[in-house]
Amino acid sequence: MPELPEVETVVRGLRPVLTGKTITAVRVGPKALRFPWPESFADRLTGRRVQALSRRAKSVVIALDDDQVWLAHLGMTGRFVAEAAGGVHQPGAFYDASPRQPGHDHLSLDLSGGGRLIYNDVRRFGYMKLMAAADLEAAFATLGAEPLDPALTPEALYDLCHRKTMAIKPVIMDQRLLVGVGNIYASEALFLARIDPSRSAQSMSLADWRVLLAAIQQVLSQAIAAGGSTLRDYAQIDGQRGGYQAHFQVYDRAGEPCPHCQTPIQKRTQTGRSTFYCATCQT
């Protein structure tokens, strides 16, 4: 499933493809995605010029020139594929390892300049929304902070969490607190911060939060930096995994030696999800 770094990579890949382009024609397939297509979706997109692309949590946010915003969520297997006028190019907008599945193109946009943008989604858990720009903030009202937002401080996280008795790992994965810290990144960040994933959130000092927030930001930034190339390779290596896993220090490495101390990495289940950690380094 695409996580924050993959969606950020998609946004960065789509930005040069879409920004400033006018959508000249829209074809919507016969099947609904996770939700029905927005009413008059094709009509409302046709003729619009794309002003800017951004990301909020795992949504691609596409601002149009009539104060509408098009939100795209990739679900499990959604991907955008851009075709330039001169041939196919893939602007880092792939996530899934398999080749684009024929028969699963659900949306196709013609762009000024001759390019084309296709949305392909085998499992159709993705979805699209179209709303007034003024309604965007309300649509995201339940979401927590963006971990890479420079305005986010360790003090803010400490204040929100210092009475929580839950373990720190599910706390940092709670999207109402912090968006985009998925299961892989939670294990990796806690390892980097040398914090035991089972420690209660209320045991975290402000100094601990400083270390942990920096670790979360480092892990996500590295994944985004690797995203452009590894996600492209990802589609070529094998059916399940790509170069991405080369970055993992502990995730999915149970029994392998800790990179710091050689103690075998342990695996434990927390709130139904696998956690990987070093019992020696993480306290």
Residues at the contact surface with Zn ion, assessed by CB under 5 A: 258, 260-261, 263, 278, 280-281
Q: How far apart, in whole angstroms, are the C-alpha atoms of residue 233 and residue 245? A: 12
For Zn ion, which is the closer residue by CB, 27 or 260? 260
Evaluate whether 179 touches 145 at the Cβ level (below 8 Å).
yes
Which of helix, strand or coil describes residue 245? helix
The residue from 3, 12, 194, 210 that is catalytic is 3
Residue 169 falls in the annotated catalytic set: no
**Cβ of residue 164: shortest distance to Zn ion, in angstroms?**
26
Evaluate whether 93 touches 2 at the Cβ level (below 8 Å).
no
Q: Enter the tokens of residue 180.
A: 């985009």
Q: 234-250 b/e with 16+ CB inside 10 Å = b?
A: bbeeeeeebebeeeebb
For Zn ion, which is the closer residue by CB, 90 or 280? 280
**Cβ of residue 87: shortest distance to Zn ion, in angstroms?**
48
**Cβ of residue 280: shortest distance to Zn ion, in angstroms?**
4
For Zn ion, which is the closer residue by CB, 161 or 278? 278
Q: Enter the tokens of residue 255.
A: 């029994």
> Can you tell me which residue has the tokens 């373990």?
167
Short-list 78, 73, 87, CA closest to 116: 87
Distance set, CA 217 to CA 207, 221, 253 (Å): 16, 6, 22
Residue 49 falls in the annotated catalytic set: no
All residues at 6 or more sequence positions from 255 whose CB lies less than 8 Å from its CB, including other chains: 264, 265
Residue 8 falls in the annotated catalytic set: no
Say if residue 214 is exposed, middle or buried (CB neighbours under 10 Å; 0-12, 13-18, 19+): middle
**Cβ of residue 173: shortest distance to Zn ion, in angstroms?**
22
For Zn ion, which is the closer residue by CB, 193 or 281? 281
Which residue of this chain has its Cβ atom nearest to Zn ion in the complex?
258
Residue 3 falls in the annotated catalytic set: yes
**Cβ of residue 88: shortest distance to Zn ion, in angstroms?**
45
For Zn ion, which is the closer residue by CB, 158 or 277? 277
Evaluate whether 50 touches 63 at the Cβ level (below 8 Å).
yes
**Cβ of residue 172: shortest distance to Zn ion, in angstroms?**
20
Strands (E), the chain: 23-28, 50-56, 59-64, 68-73, 78-84, 87-89, 105-111, 116-121, 127-132, 266-270, 273-277
Write out the catalytic residue numbers. 2-3, 58, 273
